[in-house]
Amino acid sequence: DVTYLLAGDATYSQANLLAEQTGGVTNDPATALATLRAIRQFAAGERTVLLPAHDPFAPARLLAREPML
């Protein structure tokens, strides 16, 4: 089965997360990057469907139950 991670604004898209691009507004870029890395580490050990709030591809990943690579 899969785990669904509601990422909210932690990243704007799965592509940004995979590229380690914090993007958006952040008061602490180092913490934002550490958060992205923590999400990737979690997804490496658990089949995870990432659902960021602003990712136009999130609905398709949800329907397909497509985990992060």
The predicted model gives 36-44 an average pLDDT of 97
| Of 27, 68, 45, 19, nearest in space to 7 by CA | 68
* 0.85 surpassed by pTM: yes
The predicted model gives 24-39 an average pLDDT of 93
pLDDT at 24 over 80: no
Mean predicted lDDT score pLDDT of the chain: 95
pLDDT score recorded for residue 28: 93
**What are the residues whose beta carbons fall under 8 Å from the beta carbon of 26, sequence distance 6 or more?**
32
pLDDT score recorded for residue 23: 79
pLDDT score recorded for residue 6: 97
